[in-house]
Structure 1
Amino acid sequence: MSHDAGDGGSDRRIGRGRIADRIVDDLRERILSGELPNASRLPAERELAEQYGVSGATVREAIRVLATVGLVSVQHGTGSFITAESDTMIGMSIASVVRLEGLGATEVLGVLGALNRHAAQLAVREATDAEIDSLGETAEKLAVVNNTDGTIEDLRTFMRRLSEISHNALLASLCRYLVDVQVELAVKMSGGRVAEWRRVAGGLQADRLAVVAALKSRSVERAVEAVDAHTAHAVNLILSTPQAKKIQVSDPGFAHLLAGLLNTKLGSAAR
């Protein structure tokens, strides 16, 4: 059960200036510090207006900004709730930059590749044998690709697991979001055709096994080479599908397609 957060009676009046921005800064600090706990209900607009000595409209503007960056979820008729989850905030930030700069698939997938390379370097030193074995077991599940739905989750799990066994929380959060983008892009490019999905997802099986073997060898050099090869092959397979070639005629960098996928993810995160 959610509980109300904060002391509705405290006076947090602030001076002149960009008042809504300053309220955003104060509430963000209270959320990130844990004063307003995750999943708790944000004080009502009237209470916040009294605390800060501003109008209800100013408070609503501040809450709208907090919702945009993923710190708050507005549920009409119920109130606003703290949703300070790192994956959501990171995802929304990445999506905003990608859309603002008009970045395409190659740039975004290249960043994921660089992050995976760093994850592999860390995993060589930090991952336990059991964790690397677990990554291998996930890879084995992808040995046979019979349909799209049956392998999407296993593919996500394998790619996310690589970053998770690096034992770097920030790296794992960054990778989780970009992994979802890559998987969704691969699904989109397969056009719903099992044969094409098998060519893309199944075509990377040797690369996945090579990554696992490299990690087991505890060789940073081998791990980096294996991950780089996996990344290059994945990008080539995804962007060489008939669907990708068709889209490329009107959207050379796949920027519009990627913006659409990100827009969908932003909408899902905001709900």
Structure 2
Amino acid sequence: MAVTDEAISKIKDMIVRGELTPGSRLPPEKELAERLGLSRSSMREAVKALEVIRVLDVRRGDGTYVTSLEPRLLLEAISFVVDLHDDDSLLEIFAVRRVLESHATGLAAQRADDAAVAELEAELTAASLEADVDALVTHDVRFHAAIARLAGNAYLASLLESLTSQTIRARAWRGLTQAGAVERTLAEHQAILDAIADHDVELATAAAQVHISGIERWLRQARDRT
């Protein structure tokens, strides 16, 4: 079990056992991490994930609370998980995106000039300074959009933008729950950038395929576990 998954499981167990009740406040991060034998970073990521699915409510400057756990609230969370894990159409979207994205990346490698490469480098450098998953997803969208524009086909860029808008939640969920997802994404983006900078069409195409395939593989595994 991944460290973050273990942290999520332990917090959920506290709620199920009644140690944390609806509306109750969680102990301070450091105290709770020590109590459960977890690192503060894994505790922090677990809290983020449970906030996304409406189990926890993080109130800035006040603390982290268990939500009311009302059926309406939890049904929204269940709907969210179903969207990600049980809808084969999302996997089909990623399959189409993999084909188009890799083609666009190959075209970008043909056409990229020094200014375009510098733009991608600046985007990747800025992203490497961010630890927040939301910031990483924003970077991911901008990075791929810049590559799509470089391909020089407005219709292709528009189609990729439409596909991307339907996969943002899946990418955010992966960043929150999969160990090393942030570092892996940045490393794969660097590989894509290097291939584009070298005008290596085949390598750029392959790097993009590997990148999108990794998300597909995670999504399929998450769906099967569910």
Give the TM bin, normalised by the shorter chain.
Answer: 0.5 to 0.7
TM-score by length of 1: 0.46
1:143 equivalent in structure 2: 128
Question: CA 1:159–1:238 in 2, change beyond 3 Å: closer, same or farther?
Answer: farther
Pair 1:211-2:186 in alignment: no
TM-score by length of 2: 0.55
How many angstroms apart in 1 are the aligned matches of 2:127 and 2:145?
Answer: 14
2:90 equivalent in structure 1: 105
2:201 equivalent in structure 1: 220
How many angstroms apart in 1 are the aligned matches of 2:183 and 2:168?
Answer: 13
Shift of 1:147: 1.8
Alpha-carbon contact 1:186-1:238 (below 8 Å) kept: no
For the pair shown, the structure with the greater C-alpha radius of gyration is 1
Question: CA 1:231–1:149 in 2, change beyond 3 Å: closer, same or farther?
Answer: closer
The runs of 5 or more residues in structure 2 that have no matched partner are 1-86
Shift of 1:135: 1.4
Pair 1:172-2:153 in alignment: no
1:186 equivalent in structure 2: 171
Q: How many residues get paired? A: 140
Shift of 1:157: 0.5
Kindly report which structure 2 residues correspond to 1:184-263, keeping only aligned pairs within 5 A, or say none: 184-189=169-174, 193=176, 196=177, 199-240=180-221, 244-245=222-223, 249=226
Kindly report which structure 2 residues correspond to 1:1-271, keeping only aligned pairs within 5 A, or say none: 103-189=88-174, 193=176, 196=177, 199-240=180-221, 244-245=222-223, 249=226
Bigger share in helix: 2
Shift of 1:142: 2.5
Higher RCO, Cα 8 Å, sep 6+: 2
The runs of 5 or more residues in structure 1 that have no matched partner are 1-101, 250-271
Question: CA 1:143–1:123 in 2, change beyond 3 Å: closer, same or farther?
Answer: same
How many angstroms apart in 2 are the aligned matches of 1:233 and 1:225?
Answer: 12
- Give the RMSD, CA atoms, in angstroms: 2.4
